[in-house]
Amino acid sequence: MRIVHLFFSVFFFSACTAKELKFVSEPYQEPIPIVMEQNKAIATFAGGCFWCTEAVFLEVKGVEKVVSGYIGGKTANPTYKDISSGTTGHAEAIQITYNPSEIAYEDLLEIFFGTHDPTTLNRQGADVGTQYRSEIFYHSIAQKESAEKYIQLLEKEKLYDRVIVTKVSSATQFYLAEDYHQNYYNLNSSQGYCRMVIAPKLEKLRKYYKTKLK
């Protein structure tokens, strides 16, 4: 797996540079199965505010759909208000439908790690709380192994000076977020958070990952 783009982009998307890393992995549990059509697969990532991660992956080639939602908690049918309390255990996350013949899961991992800080526990920038944690939810043994190997690769390359806190967990029930959260950046690009946080991230995405974009 390649990390060339990640090497350059890590200095922009995190405040860290190099030393000890390790991955945090949950014991294996059978993920909730998703029946997909041929040449379609699912990836589920939590990396801070889902407005940001959704905007990033909507630009990636081979990605056919990105939806924002909640995963990893104990409350059924949570609302944004529920998860914002930090008591339900859910993370803000995105679920990506992609064509694996056009882009590999490992490429999605590269972009995921390159566009958020995997070393800040329950936080991305000014967004603080367990709902903003860094977590990969795998849908197969292959995805689990790829995620763990990628984190081990980051450890070997010593790109950060803090421990990677990204969890690798079995995918549980994914709940769609409210309609106003979907495609948020494209529908609200003049909003302050979009201009100050998401837009600069997209500029760097386009600079360092242009060969992987639509």
Q: Which of 16, 49, 52, 194 is catalytic?
A: 49
Per-residue tokens: 98: 């992609």
Q: Let me know: does 72 contact 91? Beta carbons within 8 Å.
A: yes
- How many CA atoms does the CB half-sphere of 193 hold within 13 Å? 13
Q: In degrees to the nearest 10, what's the CA dihedral of 144, 145, 147, 152?
A: 140
Separation between Cα atoms, residue 116 and residue 178, nearest integer Å: 23
Separation between Cα atoms, residue 21 and residue 7, nearest integer Å: 15
16 as an active site residue: the answer is no
Separation between Cα atoms, residue 136 and residue 25, nearest integer Å: 10
Please report the DSSP string for 42-57 in residue order.
EEEEEES-HHHHHHHH
113 Cα distance to chain centroid: 7
Q: Let me know: does 44 contact 93? Beta carbons within 8 Å.
A: yes
User: Of 159, 167, 174, whose CA–CA distance to 34 is shortest?
Assistant: 174
What is the helix (H) or strand (E) element at residue 143, kind and residue range? helix 141-157
So which residues are the catalytic ones? 49
